[in-house]
Amino acid sequence: MFDDIIESIAKKLKVTPDGKEKIAKVLNGETVDCLPLIFWKPQNTTILGKTYNMKEQFYSKEKMLYAHLEEIECCACCTFDALLCLRPNFGTVFIPAMFGLKYQVFEDKYPWLVSHLTKQDIVKFEFPDLDKNEMMCKALEYIRFFKENLPEWIHVYLPDTQGPFDIAHMVYGDDIFLELYDDPQFVHDLMEICTQMYIQVSIKLKEAIGEALNECYHGHALVRGIYMKNGGVRISEDSATLLSPFHIDEFVVPYLKKALEPFGGGFIHYCGKNDYFLEVLLDMDEVRAINFGNPEKHDFETVMKKFLDHNKCYFGLWPKMQNETISEYIIRMKKVSDGGKRGLLLHFDESMYPDYSCEQIFTLWQSVMTSA
């Protein structure tokens, strides 16, 4: 079922031999001669692939793998520095489902939760046997199947594991924001459960992948991804941006640190904007890189200076300015990344300059980044 499409990918594939090494160095705060570049293509995020809908993929490992390979086939000719990778794609309900929460599966979008636990449920909650948990067993089955049917140059990475506070928000619902004031000890108890769930689930998944705890491949929902040599996980904490500095310090920071520690660090994603949360993350030794879901909300030069000052990496998109040419855009990226040597792992939006092919953009990027 997969031989023909994998053969087609292999024939189209264009990769740079040192991409993995450069990506790992930049994510580790090291300098390189020329920053790597990962192309990002706006896609139909509701249905991955072309042949099977999301519901079919959710319930069939064969259909999910084929859909991923369709995505890879579309971009194989412009992989370049990136690493090809895919994951069991169960959406944000993945870990909350292990708490026994109900969810609905759709044909044209990711699954969504339709229930939460009550306070009484959480107080009485007993940590599940992950070896017998339905969602975990499903993920392990898909990972093993993917590994058996893929060549070594297509890497499997973790499902969407979210992060401690995001998981707690999904498990308990919006009332968690009231409990921060009404019953902070309850929130701490919930955060401890969610953090341990994140850690234990991630360890079990990485063992199935055959990946060391302190390193990883990751696509961040894409098939053109990264490799970290000093950090084994990604954490998503969108809900944390809604909190005050006081509550971030009390209910987010300690659990982020605890969640990252077994994996030697990792990278953080969040949507929205919270300047205090950004400062906290930049100060955390365990954080290797940060990805913005809404880069347009941030001041480009100010933020990039902070990343360089903290020897961290910004990983993600940066929008172009109005009427900015492609050369001007690349020069702007170079100026804020220590002359194109560190601190930036850019997702280059293919739609920004439609008159240029990815190969032309990549050649121009290398020329500008290595010029005196």
Mean pLDDT of the chain: 97
- Position 2 scores a pLDDT of 97
- Position 41 scores a pLDDT of 84
In whole angstroms, give the CA distance from residue 45 to residue 55.
14
pTM greater than 0.95 (yes/no): yes
What are the tens digits of pLDDT across the range 15-42? 999 999 999 999 999 999 999 999 998 6
What's the N-to-C CA distance of the chain in angstroms?
50
Q: What is the largest CA-CA distance in the chain?
A: 64
- Position 205 scores a pLDDT of 98
Q: What are the residues facing 269 on neighbouring strands?
A: 236, 291
Give every CB contact of residue 80 below 8 A, 6+ residues apart in sequence. Answer: 14, 15, 16, 19, 37, 39, 358, 362
The DSSP code for 15 is B
Q: What is the pLDDT averaged over residues 326-337? A: 98
In whole angstroms, give the CA distance from residue 362 to residue 82.
12
- Position 155 scores a pLDDT of 98
What are the tens digits of pLDDT across the range 237-281? 999 999 999 999 999 999 999 999 999 999 999 999 999 999 999
Give every CB contact of residue 195 below 8 A, 6+ residues apart in sequence. Answer: 164, 255, 258, 259
Which band of pLDDT confidence, cut at 50, 70 and 90, is reported for residue 1? confident
Q: Is 190 helix (H, G, I), strand (E, B) or coil?
A: helix
pLDDT at 64 over 80: yes
- Position 359 scores a pLDDT of 97
Q: What is the pLDDT averaged over residues 337-360? A: 97
pLDDT at 227 over 60: yes
In whole angstroms, give the CA distance from residue 126 to residue 94.
18
Label residue 21 exposed, middle or buried (CB < 10 Å: 0-12, 13-18, 19+): middle
User: Position of tokens 């506070």?
Assistant: 165
Q: What residues does each domain of the chain span?
A: 3-370
In whole angstroms, give the CA distance from residue 63 to residue 84.
18
pLDDT at 48 over 80: no
pLDDT at 234 over 70: yes
User: Position of tokens 């044209």?
Assistant: 108
C-alpha closest to that of 260 among 330, 213, 299: 213
User: Position of tokens 């310090």?
Assistant: 249
- Position 46 scores a pLDDT of 56
pLDDT at 118 over 60: yes
- Position 372 scores a pLDDT of 82
- Position 12 scores a pLDDT of 97
Domain 3-370: top CATH class: alpha beta
